[in-house]
Amino acid sequence: MDSNKKYWKGLEELNKTPEFVEKNKHEFAEPIPIEDVLTGGGLEGRTPRRDFLKALGFGVGAVTLAACQKVPVHKSIPYLIKPEEITPGVANYYVSTYDGQAILVKTREGRPIKIEGHPSDLLAKGGASAQAQASVLDLYDVTRLKNPVKNGGDAGWAEVDDFVVRELLAIKAAGKKIRIISSTISSPSTLGVIADFIKQFPATKHINYDAVSYTGIIQANQNSFGKAVLPHYNFDKADIIVSFAADFLGTWISPEEFTRQYVSNRNSKSLESKKMSRHIQFETGMSLTGSNADVRIPIKPSEEGPALIALYNAISGNSLAGSKGLNNKVADNAIAIAAKELLAAKGKALVVAGSNDVATQVLVNAINSLLGSFGTTIDLDNPSLQYAGNDAEFVEFVNDMKRGDVDAVFFLNANPVYDYYNKDVVDGLKKVRLKVSFASSTDETAALCNIVAPNHHYLESWGDDNAISGYYTVMQPTINPVYDTRQAEQSLMKWSDNPAKDYYTYVRNNWDKNLLAKGGLSGQSGWETLLQTGSIKETVKTAGTYTFGRDLNAVAQTILDHSTALTADNKTEIQLYQSVALRDGKRANNPWLQELPDPVSKVTWDNFAAMSPSDMKKKGLQDGDVVKIEANGYSITLPVLVQPGQAQGTISIAVGYGRTVVGPVGINVGKNAFPFYSLRNGTFQTSASATLTATGENSPLAQTQTHHSIEGRNSIIKEATFTEYKKNPAVGTGKGEGHKEYPNLFWQKYERPTYDWVMAIDLNACTGCGACVVACSAENNVPVVGKDEVRRRREMHWIRIDRYYSFNDNGQGGTTKETDIAKLEDLDHVKVVYQPMLCQHCEHAPCETVCPVLATVHSSEGLNHMAYNRCVGTRYCANNCPYKVRRFNWFNYWNDSRFDNYLNNEHTQLVLNPDVTTRFRGVMEKCSMCIQRIQAGKLKAKIEKRPLKDGEIKMACQQTCSANAIVFGNASDPESEVSKALKSERTYYVLEELGVQPGVGYQTKIRNISELEA
Amino acid sequence: MASHSESIIREPLITGKDITYAKITNDVLRPVENMPGRAWWIGFSVASLGACLWVFAVSYTFWYGIGSWGLNKTVGWAWDITGFVWWVGIGHAGTLISAILLLFRQNWRNSINRSAEAMTIFAVICAATYVVSHMGRPWLAYWPLPLPNQFGSIWVNFNSPLVWDVFAISTYFSVSLVFWYTGLLPDLATIRDRATGLRRKIYSVLSFGWTGSVKTWQRFETVCLILAGISTPLVLSVHTIVSMDFATSLEPGWHTTIFPPYFVAGAIFSGFAMVQTLLLVTRKVLGLENYITMFHIEAMNKIILLTGSIVGVAYLTEFFIAYYSGGEYEQYTFLNRFIGPYWWAGCMMYGCNVLMTQLMWFKKIRTNIPISWVLSIVVNIGMWFERFVIIVVSLHRDFVPSSWAMFYPTWVDVSVFIGSIGLFFTMFLLFIRVLPSIAMAEVKLILKSSSEQAKKKLLEHGNLDKEQVEFYKESLTSFDSVDITDYQKL
């Protein structure tokens, strides 16, 4: 519809005035001075205030937004096709074997993150050593070889295989010798592969070469009984143990197993039945074992032989030719006492010696034979296969090389260039045509080889082991090989043209044919069962009794000659030992082990010369003074450390340090002491006589504990003698001494009906080995800080083992005060006590009240929590903690270029436990009682709709403890193991009088000594 | 504070002849209205270098973490909290002078309160920087404040003495600042009235439109009294609360009920020593001898002697209680101060604070300017060591001997401390350049009653007790700003 209505906006429009018409031509009624603005004048014009503010506002806003940091992007790739068995967030456990011990490997999302002992393991029954715990970190070592190496350059496997096979065939044709040098192999399948290799190349000989050798014992058994075996010792069957320098709790043969056995006669259960074994130790340096002994007598290495002769004489009633009393009156008395007690316990006695000298071990056999130990405490019929090294064979090999008779040599887990006592190996290797090392990262020997065919890490490998005769364990891979490595057995099979197509098939065949049947298994189902259980045990043969019947006079003469040789020029005697953390040094690149304090000296990241306090005073030396030590034509400089209990006139040095070709962690840590070894009567000897000269330098050692006496503070350490204990089990705890109980005026008592998590630690079971420290670090992502930071007293360990010395002052009881100790004349007779110390989870925690931001609070289950995200880092809580267990992140250890040596790279960080956050710089941390394990355990019970079972949740420290010194559980359940343990009359709480009500109870240390010796 | 005649036996608070209101203004404003002299420039250069060192060391700490300090697992606080308590303590004299002495009508405070209050503010700033920089995560320094937040129901821990500290220090700082600034108003107006150009504009803004009317003065007096009333409890509360950081803990050597009074006395002790250190130099350099006289110096020395002796008694009490309690850790801690590895720190503490201040019993020493100055520094060294001994020497050997450790400072620790002194002096030197270092208005109040010339007028009038006159004359002999010959003929 048309409309002719007209709308107008104003009279001007209606009237169409000329002004309006003119104006209406433009869009805007008034002209906009765009031209003015854009030509020169406009731009130079002053900005009006409003515009300025607008621009400023916009600019600041825009810049602020632009400057906002982007949220870091972490790419995580979901499983598109979910692998069977893997559920993100849920750990899988696989059985495997470490050093012949059955273990469980915890994997998360396909990567192994923790090693745990297998509860049905024959050796440690669920315990695991610090080395086993730390071995998982080696898998993620970035310095591992990523591919084979030929003549120092990267090569492919095909190239290497071609080369090796060609060479081997040429050598075979030339009829020259081929040698496989390995540290002891007890794996039946590996031995099978080697046997097959030998069949193919008959000029091959396999030589077991152990850096720390037990040839002396094996040879002595051959000489004494015609059985060249390393016996299986039963410390649990011994009521009295006399050890001559055998560190059986720390490093000797099978320490985890021996710890379990040893403690079974000394723990709560044993004490409650009024039974406790007695342990007398004669040794030079203070070893872990010596520090646990009831009676410890310091003797020089040269006195060890004469002391054994004296003991033999005392027990047999004869007198061996040439034997005379020791110059050491204390030792003489101790020998007499030991002999009497050993005889009284005939059949339940055990004498062991750490010496690698055949004559000495023959004498020990004679003594044990007199005591009826064979068949009871010593088992020669189910021998240990853990060490089979043959020193003489290796020396012969070195001579063969030097003569140019050897044309091919394979090094499997052996590093003689580092740990052989002289440089003949280096000279000899120059004459060898084909040198192959299976080292997984370049070591001293691999550096001199033409071919390095890097072996898998054991967590990437198939295999098996056989630590004790009749006990077979299986090894299975828990991750695909990380690098282009190949298992050594596979390489040997390939080069010897083995019919089995790969090593897995070989292992399967071997088990199907030879081993499964021993455990009553067979076929595929048997194999699958084995992969679930991890081990098979053959029926144990009855241990036979053996009687020693040889003439000992010649033996005694050899021993005495050795002793005379050591003392000939009246120099300082050196004793070489393995440190509990690093042992023979093969794991030197492992930061967890380097930072694990030595149990006795508490030194990390170094070896040192341990010296007795009186020698230090005589020579005017201070801790850390560097001395030059010369012996056997070799010299090193090392800082000295005062070691109470060290025999006077001796020093002890740990081997396993001073690696020169190794990753960044282990390089230049300490000095190599292996060259102080010597060869005598076909075995390596661990003592020498040396001259010491002070260099005038001082190099402070990184110790985690620098004050060594308890200062008479008996509310921290409580101990008693076994005699006292038998009269009153609560002796020393202060119970029943009539202290008035004061009513609790200030604090509410919280009810904890369901869970009240507590812990009990038996000081009489703890040997102080420190495996728990590494287990805790692995479980809780505890950072490694390095030598300098430890020196600044900043190690991060959530659990530590405190070690205190006390001194016997002429039988007048323990002297524990620094000022009194300074006045003592006799510092040889020292007693040691260990105390694992961790957050006590106090019911009335002093740390909780002082935190300004409530970052540390109490849980309804009796735990002291730490909320890292809330912590601002005032450190007030750490200051107010009477136990000093809180640890502060001084630096950003996970992302600070100055800590590059340790765990500061993406690859190594894959070992982290994803259930535990890593802590940022400036945040306090401490033992959480493995809260992630408690949560996981509770969750599991909930999913399975059942109550939580006692013992189902285990702390990392508890789990790895071969001595079972730590019990964790629910105090609200009166039937739980921990409730029972805490009911023990020996229970006390550290610093109980402060009223903080700790959640960790300790059981008194009991020493089996008569009052006179105390 | 009306003008009235004052007894002749009271020493004059303002010396010099021909002192007029105008002369006071001229004298006090000389540094403010003129370009600074060489001494100021030298002092300022050194101080600002120190301040730069502080900026560098604190930035270094923030960048790398607290690990750049020498702390360890056993000694969690050392130079940081030592410095914090030291600075807070120093601040206390200012508040005492401005508040308590005002309430007690101690007119001699009028000459020194301005500088002392300024010192308080700068000292608290120095202390506050330590509070932030000692934190592991300083960027979260606002978390100890009870702010509403989005974290859920997270609140601060009202049980924690550190939270009390936050309240105490922030209240203290704000009240001190307000009190100081209020007192400045009439003097700012004086500067404004004499200034021209930009300075006049700035000072007129700063003086809040002060008119000088009777009503203004009346309100000013009232506000000052109210603020003095508010500040007075703070003098006692702040250091009481600081001491509770220690006293409420379990640590032997900290867990002591005597700490609150002992800390307050110690704070006033060190504060007066710092005022003495500053003013003995300032009065000479700025030529203010007529306003800050020997009477002031001696009065402050007497306070130093009193508080030093209180501190000494507290030390003895601690030792007695350690002995009497029979607590083995407590006993060891106190023994350790003398026979432990830090015996020298203990000796510095007891020697400087107790033995040296006892010299003040002698009038000759109290009125000797160089010795007073040296002693004032000795006191502050002693008080620094007192906090070091309490904090480090207690912590380094407490309950469990396995954790006993030594503390060794790093260059960062030392730089932060020396830098904080630089920062303090930088602020103080800027202060005396732009603001009157003596409260002119308040000094003018007492000119007609308590000045030397007023007293002289009394003498000239006669009718005074001879003995009293002799006493007065005798007292003047120790003044370095009085020409004693004038009095021989009287």
Among residues B129, B133, B142, B437, the alpha carbon closest in space to that of B284 is found at B437
**Per-window interface: B 169-228 vs A, CB < 8 A:** none
Q: Does B485 touch chain A (CB under 8 A)?
A: no
Q: Does A994 touch chain B (CB under 8 A)?
A: yes
Q: Does B60 touch chain A (CB under 8 A)?
A: no
Instruction: Write out the H or E segment, with its range, that includes residue A651.
Output: strand A650-655
**Yes or no, beta carbons of B155 and A854 under 8 Å apart:** yes
**Yes or no, beta carbons of A707 and B401 under 8 Å apart:** yes
Compute the mean pLDDT over every residue in chain A, rounded to the nearest whole number.
Answer: 88
Give the model's pLDDT for residue A865: 92
Instruction: Write out the H or E segment, with its range, that includes residue A979.
Output: helix A977-982
DSSP 8-state secondary structure symbol assigned to residue B14: B
Give the model's pLDDT for residue A330: 82
**What band does A732 get if pLDDT is binned at 50, 70 and 90?**
confident
Q: By three-state DSSP, how is residue A115 classified?
A: strand
Measure in Å the smallest separation between the Cα of B86 and chain A Cα atoms: 18
Name the residue range of residue B426's domain: 21-147+156-487
Please, which residues have CB within 8 angstroms of residue A111's CB and are 6 or more apart in sequence? A479, A910, A911
Pairing of strands A924-925, A177-182: unpaired
- Rounded to 5 degrees, what angle do the CA atoms A658, A659, A661 make? 150
- Whether B275 is in a domain gets the answer yes
Give the model's pLDDT for residue B46: 95
Among residues A955, A1009, A948, the alpha carbon closest in space to that of A759 is found at A955
pLDDT digits (tens, 9 = 90+) for A759-783: 999 999 999 999 999 999 999 999 9
A882 → closest Cβ in B73, B399, B405: B399
What are the C-alpha distances in Å from B306 to residues B107, B265, B312, B314? 20, 9, 10, 12
B402 → closest Cβ in A837, A874, A879: A837
**Backbone phi, psi, residue B343, to 5°:** -55, -35
**What band does A567 get if pLDDT is binned at 50, 70 and 90?**
confident
Rounded-to-integer distance, Cα B74 and Cα B395, Å:
7
Kindly state the tokens that stand for B142. 């606002």
The number of distinct structural domains making up chain B is 1
Q: What sign results for the dihedral spanned by CA atoms A110, A112, A116, A122?
A: positive
Please, which residues have CB within 8 angstroms of residue A93's CB and are 6 or more apart in sequence? A104, A105, A106, A107, A116
Q: Does B410 touch chain A (CB under 8 A)?
A: no
Residues in chain B with CB shorter than 8 Å from the CB of A874 are 134-136, 162
Cα-trace Rg, chain B:
24
Number of other CB atoms surrounding residue A470 within 10 Å: 19
- Whether B1 is in a domain gets the answer no
Q: Which segments of A413-469 are extended strands (E)?
A: 434-437, 451-452, 463-468
Rounded-to-integer distance, Cα B266 and Cα B314, Å:
10
HSE-up of residue B25 (Cα within 13 Å, Cβ side): 14
A880 → closest Cβ in B72, B251, B400: B251
What is the crossing angle of helices B294-325 and B259-285, to 10°?
160
**Yes or no, beta carbons of B140 and A891 under 8 Å apart:** no
Pairing of strands A887-888, A856-858: unpaired
CB A191 within 8 A of CB A185: yes
Instruction: Write out the H or E segment, with its range, that includes residue A856.
Output: strand A856-858
Q: Does A882 touch chain B (CB under 8 A)?
A: yes
Give the model's pLDDT for residue B307: 92
- Average pLDDT score over residue span A857-868: 92
pLDDT digits (tens, 9 = 90+) for A662-693: 988 888 899 999 999 998 888 999 999 999 99
Residues in chain B with CB shorter than 8 Å from the CB of A793 are 72-74, 405-406
Does A86 or A865 have the greater pLDDT score?
A865
Measure in Å the smallest separation between the Cα of A792 and chain B Cα atoms: 6
DSSP output for A82-104: PPTT--TT--EEEEEEETTEEEE
**Per-window interface: A 344-363 vs B, CB < 8 A:** none
| CATH domain A149-213+389-472+483-519 topology | Rossmann fold (3.40.50)
B72 → closest Cβ in A792, A852, A882: A792
pLDDT digits (tens, 9 = 90+) for A509-547: 999 998 888 888 888 999 999 999 999 998 888 888 888
Among residues A376, A353, A372, the alpha carbon closest in space to that of A237 is found at A376
Give the model's pLDDT for residue B11: 83
Residue A742: pLDDT over 70: no
Measure in Å the smallest separation between the Cα of B27 and chain A Cα atoms: 44
Give the model's pLDDT for residue A1010: 67
Query: Which amino acid would we find at residue B179?
Result: F
Give the model's pLDDT for residue A737: 64
SS3 sequence of A365-387: HHHHHHCCCECCCEEEEEEECCC
Rounded-to-integer distance, Cα B322 and Cα B318, Å:
6
pLDDT digits (tens, 9 = 90+) for A177-216: 899 999 999 999 999 999 999 998 998 999 999 999 999 9
CA A432 to chain centre: 36
Rounded-to-integer distance, Cα B83 and Cα B419, Å:
11
pLDDT digits (tens, 9 = 90+) for A42-79: 566 566 778 888 989 999 999 888 877 666 677 767 77
Give the model's pLDDT for residue A3: 66
**What band does A1014 get if pLDDT is binned at 50, 70 and 90?**
very low
Q: Does B341 touch chain A (CB under 8 A)?
A: no
SS3 sequence of A579-640: ECCCECCCCCCCHHHHCCCCCCCCEECCCCEEECHHHHHHHCCCCCEEEEEEECCEEEEEEE
**What band does A1012 get if pLDDT is binned at 50, 70 and 90?**
very low
- Average pLDDT score over residue span A484-499: 90
CB A550 within 8 A of CB A362: yes
CB B397 within 8 A of CB B407: no
A569-703 is classed CATH 2.40.40.20: yes
Residues in chain B with CB shorter than 8 Å from the CB of A707 are 397, 401-402, 404
Q: Does B72 touch chain A (CB under 8 A)?
A: yes
Percent of chain A with pLDDT over 70: 95
Q: Work out the widest C-alpha separation in chain A, in whole angstroms.
A: 149
Closest Cα in chain A to B132? A874
CA A84 to chain centre: 33
CB A214 within 8 A of CB A253: yes
Reading chain B (490 residues) residue by residue, the pLDDT tens digits are 344 677 888 888 888 888 888 888 888 888 888 888 888 899 999 999 999 999 999 999 999 889 999 999 999 999 999 999 999 999 888 888 888 888 888 888 888 888 888 999 999 999 988 989 999 999 998 888 888 877 777 889 999 999 999 999 899 899 989 999 998 999 999 999 998 889 999 999 999 989 989 999 999 989 988 988 888 888 888 889 999 999 999 999 999 899 999 999 999 899 999 989 988 988 888 888 888 888 888 888 999 999 999 999 999 999 999 999 888 899 999 999 988 899 999 999 998 888 888 998 998 888 888 999 999 999 999 999 999 999 999 999 999 999 999 999 999 999 999 999 999 999 999 998 899 988 888 888 888 888 888 888 888 877 778 888 888 888 888 887 777 777 776 6
DSSP output for B272-337: HHHHHHHHHHHHHHTT-TTTS-HHHHHHHHHHHHHHHHHHHHHHHHHHHHHHHH--HHHHHHHHHH
**Yes or no, beta carbons of A871 and B405 under 8 Å apart:** no
Give the model's pLDDT for residue A768: 92
- Considering the four listed CATH numbers 3.30.360.10, 3.30.10.20, 3.30.70.20, 3.30.420.40, the one that applies to the domain covering A719-736+750-1007 is 3.30.70.20
Residue A811: pLDDT over 70: no
Among residues A343, A332, A334, the alpha carbon closest in space to that of A373 is found at A343
Among residues A299, A69, A396, the alpha carbon closest in space to that of A828 is found at A299
- List A609's β-bridge partners, or say none: A640, A653
pLDDT digits (tens, 9 = 90+) for A899-940: 776 677 888 888 999 999 989 899 999 999 999 999 999 999
Cβ-Cβ pairs closer than 8 A, A with B, add up to 165
Among residues A955, A905, A918, the alpha carbon closest in space to that of A773 is found at A955
Q: By three-state DSSP, how is residue A197 classified?
A: helix
CATH number of the domain enclosing B304: 1.20.1630.10
CB A894 within 8 A of CB A918: yes
CB B369 within 8 A of CB B480: yes
Give the model's pLDDT for residue A321: 74
Dihedral through CA B211, CA B215, CA B217, CA B218, nearest 10? -160
Kindly state the tokens that stand for A727. 């009269």
Give the model's pLDDT for residue A50: 83
**Yes or no, beta carbons of A884 and B73 under 8 Å apart:** yes
CB A371 within 8 A of CB A351: yes
Rounded-to-integer distance, Cα A390 and Cα B488, Å:
111
**Per-window interface: B 279-338 vs A, CB < 8 A:** 328-329, 332
- Considering the four listed CATH numbers 3.40.228.10, 3.30.750.24, 3.30.930.10, 3.40.50.1820, the one that applies to the domain covering A227-384 is 3.40.228.10
- Whether B16 is in a domain gets the answer no
Rounded-to-integer distance, Cα A857 and Cα A569, Å:
65
Report the predicted TM-score, pTM, of the whole model to 2 decimal places: 0.88
